Amino acid sequence: MDKETLLRGIRDTHAFIETAAAEMDDDALLGPAPGMDGWTRKDVLAHIEWWSRHSAAVIEGARSGIDPYPGDDEPWDPDAWNERILAENRDRTPDDVRRGEAEAFTRLVAAVEGATDEELFVENPHPWLDGTLAETVIEDSSKHYPDHVAQLI
């Protein structure tokens, strides 16, 4: 894999998210997300936003040498993060979430575009990062976005 393949995968899998966010009115976004008990479609979109921001922050941190989550010695627990993301975003308006998700995706793409192939694909570039930056990006985007298509239909 190279950077262009990574970017194509991110863009291709995000296309449905972008279309769904643009086409749903506020009432639809505030409606229940199928298969996600207690979540609205807006919550799902905010969740996607957070994970895109996460990948961008990890890339930016790796490129600058600064841990994006300093002092966070807790074991990585995606379920705990997802609950936190849900709680932190519950009171946002649909327009704010739409705008935030679009901005987060733009930031992610820009972060990937700004990184070199070496930065993206070198193994364990920092003590706080297991694997490669590309693996983090793929987990947070092109593998993750399709997981939420059913909730945004």
- Residue 145 contacts residue 14 (beta carbons within 8 Å): yes
DSSP 8-state secondary structure symbol assigned to residue 40:
B
- From 128, 33, 36, select the one nearest 83 (Cα to Cα): 36
Residue 92, pLDDT > 80, answer: yes
The predicted-structure confidence for 34-81, as pLDDT tens digits, reads as follows: 999 999 999 999 999 999 999 999 999 999 988 887 766 666 788 888
In angstroms, what CA-CA distances link 103 with 7, 38, 76, 87, 123? 16, 26, 25, 20, 28
The predicted model scores a pTM of 0.93
Each domain of the chain, given as residue ranges in start order, spans 3-152
Query: Percent of the chain, pLDDT > 90?
Result: 82
Contacts of residue 91, Cβ cutoff 8 Å, sequence gap at least 6: none
Which homologous superfamily does the CATH classification assign to the domain defined by 3-152? dinb family like domain (1.20.120.450)
